[in-house]
A and B are shown apart, each in its own frame.
Chain A
């Protein structure tokens, strides 16, 4: 494990990306303590403070580091809380999609025959659609709300995990150690849980990292289009959308700062994922 970490640390960019992810996650977790204002507390907002540029000292008596939005929210606070929601959505959707995808993928590889054909055909069919299209349709049907959004994100993403799990599990199943377990004999459940699954996890985690980033950007897209979360709980996507109408009037900060936060988060997660992929892929190893 220490060797894995040392190798990871050798890539400076990946190390920096990990640091950025850690800082952003820390900031999101610590938002209630770090943020000067609770952006959800509508009573604490003052329209007098609306659309002020960065550096403005508002009625609260503190500096609005990144300015305020149209409702007079402190943007810095709103971004911290937005990060919180974006990460929460990304992680929950990613974890659920990974569980469902892994289950289906391993089941398909293990069962073979018509079960395999049925599952993988559906997965392939779904992978040929743009994920955003499916998510849009689902949100339109299910309505707004956190649960509905997670369902839409999971539905749009489980197929990637299923593909990966299926590929990895089919490869592992053909290896001698699985054959050796079957030859002992051990029960199929034990072989799948104790032998196949642990060896399928590394590629799934790699895909998972990237898919968390994708879920975040997908959620941001939906929220930007007004189909994501309700306006009472603004995620980064909604903050960007809210500021969009003021872009032309020169009050660019309302959209730009949440946008930067979103981009930095997604790029950093992707860089971490790339490094994990390189490190777990034996063919890329020196």
Chain B
């Protein structure tokens, strides 16, 4: 097997706030192959979005990558000068945000801003840039793309704007797209359209995708592998089907059992008690222990790796599953 496209080792991104050090990402390691789709799942405050932002060097002060390494196609990204990071970002690495408003300039037409994005990295004519923009817009399912290049962001619906954001990410045929909750703000029918398009786009173009979401169902529909985060750390990772069918980590189990779809209508859900810890005061040892039904004294120590073929969980008392 060739070297992975992305190799993250012991990534630590901390926020130095007034109230103390918030360890948003605290020792995250994973790797990603070319064309692979990784679902990054967690609840708010789990560090999933900060992980995504860290990969693209988009962490703003008071946040800072304080340790670890991100190797992208053999190149170290942690500590890369901003200018080099910018040259990489948009061309080989791209990001799609939850709110497309944040990335679209309201006073420029869609065509104009996409052409700018093309010409930021390549010396091509305006005409060629616009032609490229029209082509990618058509690929993300925008009908009559060439004519709509002259439209402004406010003339598009939320779903259409998110399509434009995805198209912009695709402009340079990047090796990796990081998408942070890209369909959370959209209606189910529009979400389904975008998921369907993402799936075929990833398959056609061979672009690797990190899909960050709180929604296990969208991740299960799209991703090859899933990575579950809790309080800034990875708790479990493995192939999506296997992990969701038979999770090893009690948190993953609890998350699944919290879904209404997992219980008969009207029946009590098997809830996880309590709330996630503050990132300013993550418990020593296993961060999930205070809410965990399987926890005991041993959980005060950092959890060991529980491995199955192709799977990993960090837990003292992993759930037994048939390998």
- Which residues in window 232-286 of A have CB below 8 A to B? 286
> What 1/0 mask marks residues of chain A from 43 to 81 whose CB sits below 8 Å from any chain B CB?
000000000000000000000000000000000000000
Q: Which residues of A contact B17 (CB under 8 A)?
A: 286
Q: Which residues of A contact B62 (CB under 8 A)?
A: 286
Q: How far is the CB of B20 from chain A (nearest CB, A)?
A: 14
Complex: how many Å from CA A286 to CA B62? Answer: 9
B: number of interface residues (CB 8 Å): 3
B18 contacts A by Cβ under 8 Å: yes
A: number of interface residues (CB 8 Å): 1
Interface of B is mostly: loop
Q: Which residues of B contact A286 (CB under 8 A)?
A: 17-18, 62
Q: Which residues of A contact B18 (CB under 8 A)?
A: 286
Complex: how many Å from CA A286 to CA B17? Answer: 9
Q: How far is the CB of B63 from chain A (nearest CB, A)?
A: 12
Q: How far is the CB of A151 from chain B (nearest CB, A)?
A: 46
Complex: how many Å from CA A128 to CA B17? Answer: 43
Q: How far is the CB of B76 from chain A (nearest CB, A)?
A: 31
> What 1/0 mask marks residues of chain A from 161 to 194 whose CB sits below 8 Å from any chain B CB?
0000000000000000000000000000000000
CB-based nearest A residue for B18? A286
Q: How far is the CB of A272 from chain B (nearest CB, A)?
A: 21
Complex: how many Å from CA A286 to CA B18? Answer: 9
Complex: how many Å from CA A286 to CA B61? Answer: 10
Q: How far is the CB of A247 from chain B (nearest CB, A)?
A: 50
Complex: how many Å from CA A265 to CA B96? Answer: 52
CB-based nearest B residue for A6? B18
Complex: how many Å from CA A286 to CA B19? Answer: 11
Complex: how many Å from CA A286 to CA B22? Answer: 14
> What 1/0 mask marks residues of chain B from 53 to 89 whose CB sits below 8 Å from any chain A CB?
0000000001000000000000000000000000000
CB-based nearest A residue for B61? A286
Q: How far is the CB of B62 from chain A (nearest CB, A)?
A: 8
Complex: how many Å from CA A159 to CA B18? Answer: 38
CB-based nearest B residue for A7? B18
Complex: how many Å from CA A259 to CA B30? Answer: 68
- Which residues in window 88-107 of A have CB below 8 A to B? none
3 nearest CB pairs, A to B: A286-B18, A286-B62, A286-B17
List residues of chain A with CB under 8 Å of any chain B CB: 286
Instruction: Enumerate 3 A-B pairs (CB-CB under 8 Å) in ascending A order.
Output: A286-B17, A286-B18, A286-B62
